Amino acid sequence: MTQTHRCWAEIDRSALQHNAAAVRNRIGSAELLAVVKANGYGHGMVGVAEALANDAQLFGVANLEEAMTLRDSLTHPVIILGPALPKERSTIVERGFIPSISTLEEAEDFNRRARAGAAAINFKIDTGMGRMGVPENDAAALFKKVAALTNIKIHSVSSHLPVANEDAEYTREELLRFGKLIRQFRAEVPGDYKVHVLQSAGVLAFSDPAFDIVR
């Protein structure tokens, strides 16, 4: 017997595009990084990405498997927001994905696997999430070490606001700390790397410090 589903979700592509346009109106010249991990949050990763292809400059996924699926349909830069397994790193370099790194070991391993300047990375800082990222107090020293590696290029620096829709005071303080770190990075390691910290809740409540990219 053919199985039929009694419930389903109908996704309005024009509604997704309307939402993307609303975000663009709040962020000025910042680029839009559309996060489509977890199968586009249950809406269909490839379909959502294709709907947003004209609005987003980059896409974000959780892991290599998702990045590979997305690459079959789109050519946009793809940032892998979750940690990469050691066995995945060569493929990430070969396919041109942008991994997020939290340790010197990760950066050095990508450096070994890449040719001169061939691997771009996202330098992730932990300013409050407590799950992934370079500890805030260690970030400046580690950033200089990563920047000195010759086979990788720092594409971007990021953090995450864990309670942007719950605790405005904490989030403002977190943004101040993050902004201070970025100013230190810019002074000590000049470069064309981009900065992103605001996710959906952050854009709605704190769109003024949009930096270079919003998620």
| Strand-pair category, 58-61 with 152-158 | unpaired
For residue range 166-214, list pLDDT tens digits in order: 999 999 999 999 999 999 999 999 999 999 999 999 998 887 778 999 9
Residue 207 is predicted with a pLDDT of 75
Q: How confident is the model at residue 1 (pLDDT cuts 50, 70, 90)?
A: low
- In this predicted structure, the answer to whether residue 133 has a pLDDT above a threshold of 70 is yes
pTM (two decimals):
0.93
Q: Please, what CATH class does the domain formed by 13-214 belong to?
A: alpha beta
For residue range 150-163, list pLDDT tens digits in order: 999 999 999 999 99
